[in-house]
Every structure is written in C-alpha cells, then in structure tokens.
Amino acid sequence: MESGVGTEETEVLESEMLLAKLARWLVMGAIAGVLSAIGIMAFLKLLYMGIEFAKEAGGLWWVLLPVGGFVSTNILKMEPTATGHGTEAVIRSVNKAEGYIPLLVAPVKAAATIVSIASGASLGKEGPSAQIGGAITSSLGRLFKLNELDRRRITLCGMAAGFSIVSGAPVAGAIFAAEALVMSSLNYTYILPCLVTSVTSLYTARVLDTWLNLHAFHPLWDIEEMGVLFEGIRPFSISKMLPFFFLTLIGALLIGFAARLFVKSAEISERAFHRIKVENSLKTALGGVLLILMALAFGRQYLGLGIHELSDPALAGESVPYMAFAVKILFVAVSLGCGFSGGAVTPIFVIGSIAGAALGRALGMDIRFAAGIGMVSFLAGTTNTPITATVLGLELFGPAFGLFGALAALVAYCISGNDSINASQIFGGPKPCYDISKGKAGLSFEEMHKDH
C-alpha cells in the first residue's frame, strides 16, 4: 500500500513539475514577445523615418549609396557579431554559440541597417528584426540564468518575433524559427515557446502601432481587407482545379530553379567582393557605386526594400516586367556581397512575388494567385523551409490557397539544390531529388563550402 501511495505522489509531483514548466514558458515567451516587439517596432519606426529623410536628397540620391555603405560598415565595427543578414546570424548563434547574442547587437544592427536601406541598399527588414529580437531574448535568457537548451529556445523566440511582425503570420514565424536551423529536420521542442512569443509580439506590435501612431507595422498582406487570395478556386471541381494544379506545378519548378539562382548569385557576389583587397568600409562603398550604375541601367525601383515598388503591385494583380525578379536578384546579391547591413528574407518575399506574377502573366493564371505561389515557393527553395512556406500561404492567403501553396513549396524545395541562403544552417541530409552529399550531414553549409 505504501508503495502505491508513493507512486501516486511521484506522479502528482511530476505532473505539477510539467505544469510549472509549461507555465514558465508561457510567461517567459510572453515577456520575450513584448520586449521583442518594443525593440523591433522602434527599429521599424526609425527605418521608415530614415527612408523618408533620404527621399529629400532628390537628385543627389546617388551620393547616399557609397556614403551609406562606408558609414554602415564602420557602425558594424562597434559589434562585429552584428554583421550578416540577420536571420543567418541568429541561426549561427543557436547552432554554434548556445544562443548567445550580445545585447549591443540590437542597437548596432538597427543603426547599420537604417543607414544601409535608407541609402538605397537592396535588402530587407525581416532579418535585422529577427537579429534585434534575438539579441533582446538572448539577453533575457542570461538574466533568467537559463540552461543551454533553454537559452537556445529563448533566442529563437526573438527570431520568431521578427518574422511574425514583418510578415503578419505568427504561426509561420514560430515554425520558421525551428525549421531554419537544420535542413530536412524540424525540432518540435522549439515551437511552443516560439509560438507564444510570435503571437505576443505580433499583437503587441499592433497595439503599439495604434496607440502611438507609429505607422511602422506593415504586414505583407492585409487579410482583413483583401480576404481570400483567390476566390475562384473555392468551389470544388476537378475540371476547374486540375489546370491550377498543373500550372502551379510548372510555376513551382521554375521558381525552384530561380531560388537556386538566387543562392548561387549571393555566394558568387560574396566571393567576388572578398577577393577585393581593400578595407571593408571602402569595399561596401565600392559596392554602392556599382549599385548606382545598376540603378541607372535598370531603374531605381530595384533599390531599397522594393515592397511598395515591386511586391505590392504583383500581389494586387498588376503586371510586372518578366525579368524584374532576375534584376532584383542581382541588386540583392551585390548588396549582400559587398557588406551592406540588411536582411535577405524580405527580398525573398519580393523576388518570389514578382517572379510568380511574371509566370502568372506568361501562363495566363490569375496574377495575384501566381504571386502568392511565387512567394511561398521561393521562400521554401532559398531557406529550405517548406513547412513554414506552406503555413505562410495559409495565414496570408486563406484556406483555398493552402493545397496549391503546399504543392508549390514542396516542389520548389525539392529541386532548389542542397544549399541555403543561410550559410550557418546545418545540412541534415539530401533532398529527394539529390544524393550527392555523403558524409556531409551535420555540417553547416558554410563548412561544406570550405571543404569543397
């Protein structure tokens, strides 16, 4: 009898400990979400102020790029770990440094990115938002004296907050934080803390934007106003759906190859600028001069974030130039390679949407639908996160889009190559269409490239 009572007491104690741990993560995740949102929203507000201020340069816009490159690179010298395109830096800290990111990274990354994007660098805001969020939550983990595994978890919570606030898709943000660490693997133990932070940060950002009139919260798609992306596929009909499946498959195949082109272009650009033996800030200034020449040749709409100039028209169903996606890839590759500070995920959203819109126009598809397909498939192919891309499509474009988005994401992921825009992502094994990486599992893509 005593043994039975002892067993029952042990089970009750274990249940209480489990509930206590759950409550702990719910509280810590919520705190991380609020603090991350405050830091990220401050960054976004200052970023848009910087962009508006730069517009006043008028005809002297070309001066800003080399000067901005020089200044931003020197700002990064204050905290070298703030370099990179944000998301990749957080992945590196979790995979290689037990989730450690110095708090100084947040202001340094914010300042360098504001200068870079305001001056015209063709980069994005999601990566820096993720790195700023990661720096805040990593510091929170040290304050709470968390163990190694929990420090990794709470650092990832900051990355989830950055993705969530920029995209407006909290579930995709939580899954992205877990899925982006290792290709072909998803660690479920990270998802719940990241989801709590992701949701909390998103709604905190909305509240801050409303209360303080920040006008800094710009999700990718206003679901409340736009509703389901493509109403025409709602009624189930084999005769109506088969053409969409066929066109989606073709589009995803082409977008998958475009994703591979983007990753390779970024790698080539980085190697090319690395061979230039001058001081880093001068190298970035030189990249700024190259961007000026490219803008004169192709147009200034490819500079900066590109959301309003390129992505918004595509998602609204407007025609875009067929080769706009390739030109934007070139601008982003140069901006990343020469050392400007900014993210790669927002450009991925932009490039994917305009590539999809161009394909939709060529194949006779609804352009809005095709732009959505392009966005999710390009994200899956460049970051190796097909589950995130599928969920993003559901959150942004509605349930009618879901099956098509899943097909596109998985096809693009499978054919985009055993590579990633995030060099510190770990290679977990070859994709179904590839079998050329024996003995490489467990290495980061950066380490694989060094071996090669």
Q: Is residue 433 part of a domain?
A: no
Mean pLDDT across 130-145: 96
CB-based contact 179:387 (threshold 8 Å) = yes
CA dihedral defined by 93, 31, 348, 336, rounded to 10 degrees?
A: -40
Can you give the pLDDT at residue 118?
A: 96
Residue 184: band (very low, low, confident or very high) from pLDDT cuts 50, 70, 90: confident
Can you give the pLDDT at residue 397?
A: 85
Let me know whether 174 and 316 are in one domain.
no
Q: Which residues lie below 8 Å from residue 144, measured CB to CB, with a gap of 6+?
A: 28, 154
Let me know whether 140 and 236 are in one domain.
no
CB-based contact 317:367 (threshold 8 Å) = yes
Let me know whether 245 and 153 are in one domain.
no
Least confident of 150-159, 230-239, 339-348: 230-239
Can you give the pLDDT at residue 435?
A: 65
Of the candidates 261, 267, 259, the one whose C-alpha atom is nearest the C-alpha of residue 386 is 259
Three-state DSSP state, 352: helix
Q: Which CATH number is 156's domain given? A: 1.10.3080.10
Rounded to the nearest 10 degrees, the angle between the axes of helix 238-274 and helix 324-338 is 30
Let me know whether 240 and 207 are in one domain.
no
Three-state DSSP state, 182: strand
Q: Is residue 238 part of a domain?
A: yes
Q: How far is CA 107 from CA 51, 133, 147, 197, 280, in A?
A: 18, 11, 26, 21, 20
Let me know whether 141 and 21 are in one domain.
yes
Rounded to the nearest 10 degrees, the angle between the axes of helix 345-363 and helix 367-383 is 140
The DSSP code for 60 is: G
Can you give the pLDDT at residue 353?
A: 94
Task: Give the whole-number percent of the chain exceeding pLDDT 70.
Answer: 91
Q: Is residue 442 part of a domain?
A: no
Q: How far is CA 394 from CA 149, 168, 169, 349, 372, in A?
A: 31, 12, 9, 15, 10
Which parts of 172-283 are beta strand (E)? Answer: 182-183
**Residue after which a domain boundary falls, among 148, 180, 211:** 211
Instruction: Show the domain range for 229.
Output: 224-421
CB-based contact 326:283 (threshold 8 Å) = no
Rounded-to-integer distance, Cα 47 and Cα 55, Å: 13
Let me know whether 68 and 182 are in one domain.
yes
Q: How far is CA 302 from CA 154, 202, 294, 295, 335, in A?
A: 35, 28, 9, 7, 11
Amino acid at 351: I
Of the candidates 182, 109, 104, the one whose C-alpha atom is nearest the C-alpha of residue 138 is 104
Let me know whether 64 and 206 are in one domain.
yes
CB-based contact 68:121 (threshold 8 Å) = yes
Q: Is residue 314 part of a domain?
A: yes
Can you give the pLDDT at residue 237?
A: 61
Average pLDDT, the chain: 89
Can you give the pLDDT at residue 238?
A: 64
Can you give the pLDDT at residue 227?
A: 44
Q: Is residue 299 part of a domain?
A: yes
Amino acid at 291: L
Least confident of 53-57, 207-211, 215-219: 215-219
Rounded to the nearest 10 degrees, the angle between the axes of helix 345-363 and helix 126-143 is 140
Let me know whether 293 and 202 are in one domain.
no
Can you give the pLDDT at residue 417?
A: 84
CB-based contact 127:180 (threshold 8 Å) = no
Provide the number of structural domains found in the chain.
Answer: 2
Q: Is residue 31 part of a domain?
A: yes
Burial of residue 201, with CB atoms counted within 10 A of its CB: 0-12 exposed, 13-18 middle, 19 or more buried: buried
Let me know whether 121 and 238 are in one domain.
no
Can you give the pLDDT at residue 222?
A: 57
Q: How far is CA 296 from CA 65, 299, 300, in A?
A: 13, 6, 7
Can you give the pLDDT at residue 412?
A: 96
The DSSP code for 10 is: H
Report the chain's terminal Cα–Cα distance, integer Å. Answer: 66
Least confident of 7-16, 100-109, 130-139: 7-16
Let me know whether 269 and 238 are in one domain.
yes
Amino acid at 174: A
Would you mind telling me the total number of residues written for the chain in this entry? 452
Mean pLDDT across 45-49: 96
Let me know whether 322 and 240 are in one domain.
yes
The token duo for 188 is: 């479920």
Q: Is residue 369 part of a domain?
A: yes
Can you give the pLDDT at residue 219?
A: 80
pLDDT of 228 above 50: no
CB-based contact 175:140 (threshold 8 Å) = no
CA angle 188, 393, 154 (to 5 degrees): 35
Q: Give per-residue pLDDT as tens, 261-311.
A: 999 999 999 999 999 999 999 999 999 999 999 999 999 999 999 988 899
Can you give the pLDDT at residue 221?
A: 63
**Residue after which a domain boundary falls, among 211, 233, 258:** 211
**Residue after which a domain boundary falls, among 211, 235, 254:** 211
CB-based contact 172:163 (threshold 8 Å) = yes
> Considering the entire predicted model, what is its pTM?
0.92
Rounded-to-integer distance, Cα 338 and Cα 271, Å: 9
Q: Is residue 158 part of a domain?
A: yes
Of the candidates 86, 85, 263, 81, the one whose C-alpha atom is nearest the C-alpha of residue 161 is 86
Rounded to the nearest 10 degrees, the angle between the axes of helix 399-415 and helix 386-397 is 160
Burial 131-164 (b: 16+ CB within 10 A, else e): bbbbbbbbbbbeeeebeeebbbbbbbbbbbbbbb
Greater confidence (8 vs 385) lies with 385
Can you give the pLDDT at residue 85?
A: 85
Let me know whether 197 and 254 are in one domain.
no
Q: What is Dmax (Cα atoms) for the chain?
A: 88
* Other CB atoms within 10 A of residue 60 CB: 8
Mean pLDDT across 172-192: 93
